[in-house]
Amino acid sequence: MKTKEKEINGVKFTVTPFHVSAALRLKAYLIKTLGPSIGQMVGALQGGIPTSGKAEDIGNIKIDGAALSVAIEKLTEQLGEFEFLALIKRMLENVQAQMVIEGETKVFTFGSEGMFENAMDMVFEGRILTIYPVLALVMEANYPDFLGVLTSGIGQQIKKMVTTTSEKPGQTGGSAS
């Protein structure tokens, strides 16, 4: 399995892809779960969904924190706080974070038995929004086609939403460039 590495907000993240059966189960769950809130999530992507077709562009998505919080709120309405955290835990299962703390390099493995909450606290404390680009990296490592599948499945409605995310309320018809 080929790992993906990326430095995000001063932390080096390494993602090992899931085994195929686990990846397929998670993908089915994500599509089922994210379906009702996907519109808000797409709205949180500044500049829209990458159209280059390159998997590495997924990890470079700029995220509007305020719009994303609305999407996350909608998602947590569907899941509840414990189910939401369980989903995050499941997605970060094969992720390692390497960072320097007080001059010493530390490595945190989210999938280590009993260490998830400690890893979450150490890695994301004071930088909670960093979790979203990390989740995008997990998606890139496991499902390079995931956003393409979602956009082709939802079609013109998402394209319209993506092209109008930069418009001010009351404007219509234009597209972001």
Best CA proximity match to 89, nearest among 119, 110, 115: 110
Q: Has residue 174 been placed in a domain?
A: no
**Of 108 and 162, which is predicted with more confidence?**
108
Q: Has residue 176 been placed in a domain?
A: no
Q: pLDDT per residue over 65-124, tens digit each?
A: 666 666 667 766 777 788 888 889 999 999 999 999 999 999 999 988 888 999 999 999
pLDDT of 32: 79
Spatial distance between the Cα atoms of 58 and 52, rounded to a whole number of angstroms: 10
Q: Has residue 10 been placed in a domain?
A: yes
- Does the predicted model carry a pTM greater than 0.85? no
Q: Residue ranges of the alpha helices (H) in 9-167?
A: 20-34, 38-43, 65-79, 81-91, 116-124, 131-142, 146-154, 156-164
Q: Has residue 170 been placed in a domain?
A: no
pLDDT of 124: 95
Q: Has residue 72 been placed in a domain?
A: yes
Q: Has residue 136 been placed in a domain?
A: yes
Q: Has residue 18 been placed in a domain?
A: yes
Under the banding of pLDDT at 50, 70 and 90, the label for residue 45 is low
Domain containing 159 equals: 4-164
Q: Has residue 172 been placed in a domain?
A: no
The domain tally of the chain equals 1
